Structure 1
Amino acid sequence: MRVRTTWRRPETPVVAAALLALLAAGEVLLRADGDVRLPLALSLALGSTAPVALGGPPALSALIATAAGMLALAPFHVLTAAGLAGVVGCLYRAGRHGPRVPAALLPLPFVAYAISAPGGSDAPARFHAVLVAACAAAAAGTGLARRARETALAHSATERAIADTLLEHAARGERARIARELHDVVAHHISMIAVQAETARLTTPGLPDAGAQRLLAIGDTARAALTEMRRLLGVLREDAGGAARPERRPQPGLEQLGELVDEARDASSATTRLIVEGRVRPLGPGVELTAYRIVQEALTNARRHAPGAAVDVELHYADDALRLRVRDNGPSGGDMNGAGHGLLGMRERAAMVGGSLRAGPARRGGFLIEATLPAGEDP
């Protein structure tokens, strides 16, 4: 039977404590010169270095090292360089990982001793006391400062992650809303294809069998496409847990824009005008729905960010495009940085139908939203 031995590398604090203890003991022995306080000096040297290896609370290790270092410094004057290094290490660890108040209070005995140390002929002893106090205070302060910086960075990262999550959630919600509305528009057209194909097959007199078969195939294909689309996108109409089906109604278009402007005027008690230029004509359902939603969101933003401000909604029918402008004369003009969730949704709606949208401060004050949407068929 073979016994396999696994060698484990000792942890760094244990090695550091052992090395400091050996150095402190060597310094005590070199400085002893027959001193009867040799056992006491060795004990204090061990007390100021051994806590480096303790794995308990950092404040407890720092308290033990501070007590041993203070006794070695003040009454007996046997504090070694290795013992000072052990005290400094424990105070830094307490400031970095322990409670803040004890970490801030532990260097005070060294500072008090440095202030009260005698001067004059005993200048080297005073300098030594000041050096020890400065090292102890610097170690604790450095640990506390580094922990405060790490905490601030962690909070900043958390806030950024939360902001990114909220923005992504809002964008997903807007995309889901757009998908629901496009589902309704596309489903209507596919249903009309199926109905018209079936009607043509049944009502066209003298229709050849080949033509009837093709119309039947067209109807079957349209119904299959409608079924697949409802299976993939129709779930967006339902809430989780099988909630009640929302009320179904036709999607709004530019014909309902007057009602929307009237509602906005009544809700805000401010002047809201609808200005139409060019030859009014029906556009694609997706384009009309997009224009309606952009105006709806723009009026909502105006009421939220510039309450009481007058709003002008302008529609210009060009040959190849529908140009839409919504401007308020409020002092702030809404989301000035252009990164709000509502503006993000409007841009996505305009891009969905092949258009573009620009939002920003108006030249004469207030806030302006301009959209250009294609006036042809839906892309």
Structure 2
Amino acid sequence: MMNRAEFDSILDALMPDIIRDRRHLHRHPELSGEEKQTSAWLADRCRELGLEVRERIGGYGILAKMHVGHALPWLALRADMDALPVEDQSGTDYASLFPQRAHACGHDAHSAMLLGAARVLSRYRHNLPCNVAFIFQPAEETCSGAAAMLADQVFSDFKPQHIFAFHVYPQLPAGSLGIREGIMCAAADLFEVHVQGRGGHAARPHEATDVILIASHMIQALHHIIGRRVDPLAPAVLTIGQIRGGFAANVIPDHVSFSGTVRTLHPDAHETIRHQMIHIIRQTAEAWGATASFTLHQACPVLRNDVACARASREIFASWLPEAPLVELDEPSMGGEDFSEFLRHVPGCLFRLGTGSSPATRYPLHHPSFNIDEQAMKHGIGAMAALALGYERLQQAL
């Protein structure tokens, strides 16, 4: 088994390759459910390492397995690989080659780091205390990829004892590792509202049913739910992200739709919001002579980090990466993360990797100018690999 100095030397030696890989992925982003080229490229890199690769799991998902011994337990490490439908305004020489497609959430870095961890561990595969499964997941941004991979039997011929993932975080110092026990991310619901009325001429609104005006009343009322119907001690967020309707400035359309998300940490708050949304949408439509339909479905459940796994991981990181600051996260994120689907079946944790070191690397996730301090990936790769190298400590936590 390697010592810490050798481990650090290997990480340093790999960094040019990891940065190259991340920039390749950054230049070629693919949206959720469309990760065909990304998946094929990552699968080829895994095969070059001698891993057993299975493709097309739940869409374009990949499972790459490192067999060490039949009697050994399995550790799973997961990275997402899809991009966002935003314009890349990072201003780098490796910016996206495609309009309205960008890795503005760091999934390029996640995939490059997981590949880097596979490179590190492949050098010592015969001395590892566990088998390792590397999972490259599609469609995280639509909160559908993890569930699709599970439905497609990603664990059909093995069952991991633990599973872990990392997410870059520009609000933390570059190279730091953010850890939290218990609730890490909110449950996220997607909703859509369709309002149907009667179209007409803009000069004769009394002969029409103005669905745009009706939708605006609905949106205003929906935003009051959090402040006036939800317990202030139960965090919740309701956001409208899309409005679609209208054909011309002088035409009152006959339909309009809008959609958004609801994020909660507590089931009671979720139920209150759902009930109030139904009431507001139905009553507002009826009051103005329109009809409306409302759909809401859970995109991903609350993400809960296993307490024992978090505590054991903290010890592993301190042992293998003593130079990486460990940050105790005081609050959960209201962002949704479908890694929670995996944690429904296997104990594990999601960690934050700090990537902020300058104004250029502190833009928030999903911002068109989002970018990372690439040197931070060294600690991301190291932390992933350390979970395998120090796996005995995790076994003790079971």
Q: Same fold (TM over 0.5)?
A: no
TM-score normalised by structure 2 residue count? 0.21
More strand by share: 2
More helix by share: 1
Structure possessing the higher relative contact order (Cα contacts under 8 Å, 6 or more residues apart)? 2
